[in-house]
Structure 1
Amino acid sequence: MSHTVPIQAVAFDLDGLMFNTEHVFFLSGDALLQRRGKKMTSEILHGMMGRRALEGFQHLSSHLNEPEDPHELWVESQEIFYSLLDQHLKPMQGLFELLDYLDELDIPKGVATSSPRQHLETLLTQFDLMHRFQITLTAEDVTHGKPHPEIYLTTAQKLGVGPERMLVLEDSETGTKSGVSAGAHVVSIPHEHSDYGDFSSAHYIASSLTDDKLLELLSASRT
């Protein structure tokens, strides 16, 4: 994975990249659908992943026998999601090691998520991570959700780097397309709920947040 321009900042997606929330979301979505005689499928989850809440739940609603209000579906799913969170929430493998390494290299970092700010603050506060990011951008901070490049263009601007000098870490096809469209250097790290996506536009597909080639890319930026 050669990259001639040094990486000067890193943008993290949140759900499924920093935390296993896509697993919890699958469980809560399945519970929501079971109340309506349906089951969560990879097709439904794929259409929701990486998007802002109402866009995601419009997609879920289209799979119901009788479409429902996306906002009401979202509210109901939030209740289920947060009831499951304490039992199931975990940081993704290598998260703290990567954050420590970026601190060591003195590379600034931000979070760019399609989720609402309250959700981001809940997760980052639980693991005492808010202070470790220079900026955080959420669904409320953009006009256009992923796969539109706005959130990553704004992240680069706020971190004071050109998009081509920013590494974007993503787990979903939607987020990968957003980062690539912004002109960033995108490394995708799919997991069991996203690995059927199209990651062909990513510069590299990594196995974890401490993938050797990912760490090499960062260390090369500081030599």
Structure 2
Amino acid sequence: MPTITHVIFDYDGILQNTEQAYYDAYDAALKKHGRSFNNVLKHSIMGRKRHEAFDHILSEVGLTGKITHEEFGRDHDVVLDAIVAQTPLLPGAEKLTDHLIKHGIHVAICTGSNNEEFAFKTVNFKDFVAKFPVKVLSGSDPEVKRGKPAPDPYLVTMKRFAVPPKSAANVLVFEDSINGARSGIAAGCATIFIPQKEFITHDWAERTADVQQQASEVLTSLEEFDPVKYGIPGY
């Protein structure tokens, strides 16, 4: 395996523990219209741009044309805004970030969030987020034409590094979603898949078969990550 010189982190569910907040917000918005959210729906929209996610959800639950994106977004945001900023960083997030920076590894964030959403949920972690010189917020970035699982978000992120990687094979991606892992893999990056156990679906083995086969590793936490395997000094 080529030596890793650059690391790109997804944000939600990898660095900050926001995924339950998103789940609750989607569920509350759907319950207003007699529907409910579930883990299958969740994994189908993770990493997508906001309008892509809304299109998919409303189609899947039979609400296309019955409510607008604006209405659904308001119902979603009133719940999300009340709780998301209070969610903590995930175990290992700051330790690993600091370790990578200490050893000259270039780091970046690549998320499906838009500018406003990202600023709101990271309000308590401004110093932490400032450690990342590159942040691609796919939901607002005009250069990202398609959200995850398309490779676009990671391809754009790699281009934004002040010192670009020699190749995508020198880039390591951390992802918690199926769409995100597929995006990193499609971009040619070594990809570590860290799904949160709360959101495992009933058909998980079948649903994630391609990711399980193509990912560099499947872990349960950033704390399990061994830098030495990727040519990075150990802790």
**TM-score in same-fold range (> 0.5):** yes
CA-CA distance at 1:65 after TM superposition: 4.3
Change (3 A) 1:177 1:65: closer
Cα distance between partner residues in 2 of 1:154 and 1:24: 27
Mapped to 2, the partners of 1:51 and 1:117 lie a distance apart of: 14
Structure 1 partner of 2:74: 75
Q: Could you tell which deviates more after superposition, 60-69 or 164-173?
A: 60-69
- The Cα shift of 1:64 comes to 3.3
Check conservation: 2:23, 2:37, Cα contact below 8 A.
Answer: yes
**Corresponding residue SS for 1:26:** helix
Q: Which of 160, 169, 176 does residue 164 from structure 1 map onto?
A: 169
1:79-131 Cα deviation digits (max 9, x unpaired): 210112245x1211111111121122121100011111222223334212232
Partner of 2:178: 173
Cross-structure match for 2:42? 45
How do 1:1-223 and structure 2 match up within 5 A?
A: 3=1, 5-67=2-64, 68-87=67-86, 89-127=87-125, 128-139=127-138, 140-141=140-141, 142-159=144-161, 160-161=164-165, 162-195=167-200, 196=204, 197-198=207-208, 199-200=211-212, 201-213=214-226, 215-218=227-230, 220-222=231-233
Post-superposition CA distance 1:143-202 (Å, at most 9, x none): 111111111112112221121111010000101111111101101111034443513221
The amino acid of 1:207's aligned partner reads T
Say which is worse superposed, 76-85 or 108-117, in terms of deviation.
76-85
Return the alpha-carbon distance in structure 1 between the equivalents of residues 29 and 74 of structure 2.
Answer: 11
SS where residue 223 of structure 2 aligns?
Answer: coil
Tell me the TM-score normalised to structure 2 length: 0.85
Deviation track 1:22-48 (CA, whole Å, cap 9, x = no partner) reads: 111111111112211222111221221
Aligned-partner Cα distance in 2 for 1:7–1:55 = 32
**C-alpha separation between the residues in 1 aligned to 2:106 and 2:121?**
20
Q: Once the two structures are aligned, what percentage of the paired residues are identical?
A: 26
CA contact (8 A) 2:85 2:121 kept: no
- Number of aligned residues: 217
Distance 1:28 1:107, change over 3 A: same
1: distance between equivalents of 2:151 and 2:85?
32
User: 1: distance between equivalents of 2:225 and 2:233?
Assistant: 16
C-alpha separation in 1, matches of 2:98 and 2:193: 20
Aligned AA for 2:38?
A: T
> 2:228 aligns to what SS in structure 1?
helix
**TM superposition shift of 1:70:** 2.8
Distance, in Å, in 1 between the alignment partners of 2:61 and 2:178 is 24
Structure 1 stretches lacking a partner, 5+ long: none
- Tell me how far apart the structure 2 counterparts of residues 163 and 86 of structure 1 sit (CA, whole Å): 33
Q: Aligned in 2, Cα 1:105/1:14: closer, same or farther, shift over 3 Å? A: same
Give the superposed CA RMSD: 1.9
Give the distance between the partners of 2:195 and 2:132, measured in 1 at CA. Answer: 22
**C-alpha distance in 1 between matches for 2:198 and 2:56:** 17
Q: TM-score, normalised by structure 1?
A: 0.89
Greater mean deviation of Cα atoms: 53-62 or 114-123: 114-123
